Amino acid sequence: MSTESEPTANSPEPVDIALSEGTAMPEEEAAQEAALSPQDMDRYECRACGYSYEPAKGDSQTKIPAGVAFEDLPVNWRCPVCSAPKKQFSNIGPAGSPSGFKENLNYGLGVNRLTPGQKNILIFSALALGFLFFISLYGLK
């Protein structure tokens, strides 16, 4: 006799636990995963004036709430700075992502994978350290 319980013709079919507990259906889970958070949504920059539309902030001048993707903006939406049409904007990627081509991110001793903020910290801390070394030379006799 087997210790495992094998389904027989008279045994009830197993009940899907997700359905019995009231959790999200697989289709709903896929839709939730497909929806990006405002931090993951791409920013778009106006090629005429340099204004950057960030979905995390929205547009207060035209009352666009935070979290609205650029693709979901109205067709007649224009740049709040220079009134350029929506087609004058170019995708500059999500905020805080490493700059440059994805193919080149593995080169440069790992520095290419740093975000622009991390690169600024690295550069200015190296400059400060160099300045401290230079000033320390005045202490030599």
Residue 57 lies in a domain: yes
Q: What letters, b where the CB count within 10 A reaches 16 and e where it falls short, cover 90-125?
A: eeeebbeebeeeeeeeeeeeeeeebeeeeeeeeeee
- This model's pTM is above 0.75: no
Q: What is the dihedral of CA 105, 106, 112, 115, to 10 degrees?
A: 60
pLDDT at 97: 67
- Tell me: do 40 and 82 sit in the same domain: yes
121 pLDDT tier (thresholds 50, 70, 90): very high
Instruction: Check whether residue 67 and residue 43 sit in a common domain.
Output: yes
Does 48 score more than 60 pLDDT?
A: yes
Q: Tell whether 124 is covered by a domain.
A: yes
Q: How many domains would you assign to the chain?
A: 2
pLDDT at position 37 over 80? no
Q: Averaged over 40-49, what is the pLDDT?
A: 83
Residues 89 and 53 in one domain: yes
Who has greater pLDDT, 10 or 89? 89
pLDDT > 90 in the chain, percent: 13
